[in-house]
Amino acid sequence: MDVLEFVASLVSSVLSWPVVVGVVVLVYQESLKELISRVKTLEARGGKATFGDRLGDVENSTKDAVEDVDPLTEAEPSLAPQVPAEQGPGDAMAMLKTWAELEIALRELYVAAGLSSGGRGRPPAPTTMAKTLNEKGHVNDAFVTSVRELQELRNEVAHTRYEPSSGEVAAYIETATELTRASRYFAKRSADANN
């Protein structure tokens, strides 16, 4: 075996697959980015969860979170969230607007509970507000879990190319609306208690 054959065998046996993988990644970089962003399933440590599965978990925790809400609240228009009317199939924008409505209701509850920072600085993040409200006895653990999980789902839609189905949009809006209604109910209850 001469030097040329040795180099050729070395390149073909040791460096071939990394070079091929590197070239494929460079050539198909944009396509791979798009493909990865469309992943609808999350898999970690042997467990799998789709966006829909996670949304189902949030729906269940929300039922526990709003167990203290008076059913008559639904009849009070002042407590109903302003859900976007232009909701269509797979309309992620409707989800984002509904989340924004929930954030507003959380801030209202935070202020009504006397936990406001006095208008100075940036308000706490929604999950931080929910945790503080829980520590002060205004909401239960399931409420905190629901807020955190809804925020994670919202972020997945807002910051990736995931396009939820119309059923996922409807379920998200319904769940976030329940938490918004509960937040407004708790805020009204706290305000009434302080007066």
Residue 83 has pLDDT above 50, yes or no: no
Judge if 168 and 128 occupy the same domain. Answer: yes
| Residue 94, CB-side half-sphere exposure with 13 Å CA sphere | 23
Confidence of residue 78 (pLDDT cuts 50, 70, 90): low
Return mean pLDDT, the chain: 75
At 145, the amino acid letter reads T
Q: Token pair of 186, please?
A: 């708790």
32 and 45 fall within a common domain? no
* Size of the chain, expressed as the number of residues it contains: 195
Indicate if 122 and 188 belong to the same structural domain.
yes
Higher pLDDT, 157 or 33: 157
Residue 84 shares a structural domain with residue 142: yes
Alpha-carbon span 175 to 16, nearest angstrom? 52
The confidence score (pLDDT) of residue 46 equals 56
Domain hosting residue 10, numbered range: 1-37
Residue 69 binned pLDDT confidence (cut-offs 50, 70, 90): low
| Identity of the residue numbered 68 | D
For 33-67, the pLDDT digits (tens) are 555 545 555 555 555 567 777 777 777 777 777 77
In the chain, % of residues over pLDDT 90: 19
Residues 81 and 4 in one domain: no
Tell whether 168 and 130 lie within a shared domain: yes
pLDDT of 35 reads: 54
Cα 15 to Cα 19: distance, rounded to the nearest angstrom: 6
Residues 6+ apart with CB under 8 A from 103: 126
- Three-class SS state of 50: strand
Residues 154 and 61 in one domain: yes
Give the angle 114-120-121 at the CA atoms, nearest 5°.
115
**pLDDT attached to residue 135:** 92
Question: Is the same domain home to 126 and 146?
Answer: yes
Contacts for 128 with CB less than 8 Å, ≥ 6 apart: none
pLDDT band at 151 (very low <50, low <70, confident <90, very high): very high
Name 47's bridge partners. Answer: 44
Domains identified in the chain, total number: 2
Task: Pull the structure tokens for residue 49.
Answer: 């969860």
CATH of the domain at 103: 1.20.120
Give 47's contacts (C-beta < 8 A, 6+ positions apart).
Answer: none
Per-residue pLDDT, 89: 43
Q: What is the pLDDT of residues 89-148, one digit of tens each?
A: 447 888 889 999 999 999 999 988 888 755 666 788 999 999 999 998 888 898 999 999
pTM: 0.65
58 in the same domain as 7: no
